[in-house]
Chains A and B, each alone.
Chain A
């Protein structure tokens, strides 16, 4: 079983839709939760960062972490064609095997006009 599971998609939605992207994980030592966005032929870029449980909002993007369920989500409101990319969840802890960044496999999102 992988430490981080992420549905690879692809996920296709019409412009303006609300998008929900999710990851589950098994290592309870993870404390830092991130979403990276990767456009085609580019390197990943940090989109959202959350420490421990809770919600964080930044414009059209909301990140949620539920440590009790080992489940994290990224919501995109009013999705735009420019949001078309692969979204990678990533997690990190402080000690032992959790002290390095562990990525999900990524979900490819296509927002259509």
Chain B
């Protein structure tokens, strides 16, 4: 089944404790992206990757890191989480960037930072 998977689905952590949210897609997509979704603010892009070893900042990159060592995986790293990073996170992928290409979203990771 073609899909985007994320782990964990739910995570409660404390300020400053490094964490990684994994994202994997099995559709051989070139473009991958991370979003956070907050009430009243909608989906905002954190980082994106056009292909392996090519990543760039989105609208809200502060406090986050990403890497793209393999085409299928795009982990999101929070080196020192803070309470303002409490949010619902989505990974997405599409065959290519731009051109109205459909983005496929993962199921989401609900993160709470205490």
User: CB within 8 Å of B: which residues of A?
Assistant: 6, 8, 31-32, 34, 41-46, 49, 51, 88, 92-94, 99-101, 103-106
Contacts and interface: CB of A to CB of B under 8 A. Distances in A.
Contacts of A106: 42
B77 to A, nearest CB: 20
Contacts of B105: 43-45
A47 to B, nearest CB: 10
Given A100-B58, A106-B42, A46 B48 contact: no
Nearest to B102: A46
- Chain B interface size, under 10 / 10 to 19 / 20 to 34 / 35 or more: 20 to 34
Given A103-B43, A106-B42, A42 B97 contact: no
A43 B107 CA distance: 5
B90 A44 contact: yes
Q: Which of B40, B42, B98 has the most CB of A within 10 A?
A: B42
A49 B100 contact: yes
B108 interface: yes
A94 B98 contact: yes
